[in-house]
Amino acid sequence: MSSNKNVFASKVGAILAAAGSAVGLGNVWRFPTETGANGGAAFILIYVLFMLVLGVPIMVTEFAIGRHGGKDVTHAFEKMSGGKRGWRWMGLVPVVSGFLVLSYYAVVAGWTLYYAYEALIGGFAGKTSEAFTNDFQTFSSDSLQPVFWMAIIIALTCGIVALGVQKGIERGAKIMMPLLFVFILVLVACSLSLPDAGKGLTFLFMPDFSKVTSSVILSAMGQAFFSLSVGLGCLCTYACYFRKDIDLMKDGLSVASIDTLVALLSGLIIFPAVYSISGLSPDAGPSLVFITLPNVFQQVFGNLPWLAYIFSLIFYLLLVMAALTSSISMLEMSAAYFHKNLRLSRPLAAIIVSVVCLILGTFCSWSFGDWSEVKVFGLNFFDLFDFLVAKLIMPIGGMLMCIFLGWVVDEKVLCAEMTNHGTIKSPLYPTYRFIIRYVAPLCIFLIFANELGLFNWS
């Protein structure tokens, strides 16, 4: 245990906090959506491969930069480069990212909290497919309700961050991550008991390599990259709180394993449930979670309404947990800057960032209703923030981090960070350095080009 309140007290706490940052709503709907759209099991195998050769090395890169920076991620790049001030601006990436990503992520997180409330009061009982569609459209386009639920999510996030690294972030991760797994395992058990669940398992685990195309490979590469939320600086920020005895490579593999396991278990929940009703598709994106699945729960458990109630409630509580574990790291990115550089108290820093994100988030929420026609560069506020984060900041940030650590940082400094100054062995270090110098930047460029639609991949 560490007595320093500005570092994670234990290795378990550090791993769970980093895993919580990576595990989010995307694991529950983006992964099944991408898997459903790209042929199932073959896509998963390629995704796992890219998680190992792309996702983990880039995540470890963020870990190395953050831990070397120590208390302050905003000066980590300058410090690790040996005083090259040209890289100082990279330290502001987490600050900007925190504001942008939390502002629109909290909107969707608020939706999950509202649906958890609806599940709690039995609001799904007896509804038809059309009713679920109309209800979601009515709710999401309302001026007040989504903002109210978003505000609760931001307030909860603010409260946890304000408590500090150990009492807030680490303690929250130690409570919410195990709870998240309990929810998942209960839902998996229920889903596997459904009629025709075997069809979902076949789709999930029996690969059909005839469906593999260059587009599928690029989608798997992108999923491995986006799943860990690398490039934003979340993990870089958390790594500032790592103890010096953390094995970056080994513990990085642990974080990636948890993230991948959550994604696969989410598939075990969703695919058997969706395949139990003919005519439904698992590649429906956000509507899968807020329209398709509530309808599925009511239909497959129609004869057992109490089971439909429990399944729905646990599922949306799972989504709330996943949303919170990620939103904490998003808020911490920006709040840490105000706390450490402007010398504000941690609670005040968290409140300032929360208020700004609530205002920006309100604009994003109104993009589905009153402000749907308000455009910036042809995009509403929600889509604009999503575009800036997912299609620009993440790939460019990830690429620059790899170039920085692979080509700018003195190799002795990097080797010392990866081996904890020679106290542990790192047999994968040569492979890791080769990947971040050559493989990762090329892969990220391909993801970047694919996301922007610069090339027409067949």
Instruction: Output the average pLDDT for the chain.
Output: 88
pLDDT recorded at residue 199: 84
Q: Which of 46-50, 92-96, 156-160 has the lowest mean pLDDT?
A: 92-96
**Residues 6+ positions from 272 with CB-CB distance below 8 Å:** 191, 192, 194, 196, 197, 198, 199, 200, 201
> Given a cut of 70, is residue 458 above it in pLDDT?
no
> Given a cut of 80, is residue 437 above it in pLDDT?
yes
What sign for the dihedral angle of Cα 12, 15, 17, 20?
A: negative
Q: What is the mean pLDDT of residues 260-273?
A: 88
Could you give the CA distance from residue 20 to residue 438 in angstroms, rounded to a whole number?
29
Q: What is the mean pLDDT of residues 436-447?
A: 92
> Given a cut of 90, is residue 256 above it in pLDDT?
yes
Residues 348-360: pLDDT tens digits?
A: 999 999 999 999 9
For residue 116, give both structure tokens: 């958890």
pLDDT recorded at residue 455: 67
Q: Which segment, 215-219, 232-236, 348-352, is predicted with the most confidence on average?
A: 348-352
Q: Cβ–Cβ contacts within 10 Å for residue 30, how many?
A: 20
> Given a cut of 50, is residue 200 above it in pLDDT?
yes
- Going along the chain from its start, the domains and CATH numbers come out as 11-452 (1.10.4160)
pLDDT recorded at residue 159: 96
**pLDDT band, very low/low/confident/very high, at 1 (cuts 50, 70, 90):** very low
Percent of the chain surpassing pLDDT 90: 53
Could you give the CA distance from residue 456 to residue 38 in angstroms, rounded to a whole number?
16
**Residues 6+ positions from 31 with CB-CB distance below 8 Å:** 223, 227, 263, 266, 267
pTM of the prediction? 0.91
Residues 3-20: pLDDT tens digits?
A: 567 899 899 999 999 999
Q: Where are the alpha helices (DSSP H) in 163-232?
A: 171-192, 197-205, 214-227
> Given a cut of 80, is residue 227 above it in pLDDT?
yes
For residue 348, the one-letter residue type is: L
Residues 288-338: pLDDT tens digits?
A: 778 877 887 777 776 778 888 888 899 999 999 999 999 999 999 999 999
**Among 383, 390, 389, 391, CA closest to 363:** 383
**Among 46, 93, 425, CA closest to 215:** 46
The DSSP H or E segment spanning 19 is: helix 11-22
Q: What is the mean pLDDT of residues 232-256?
A: 92
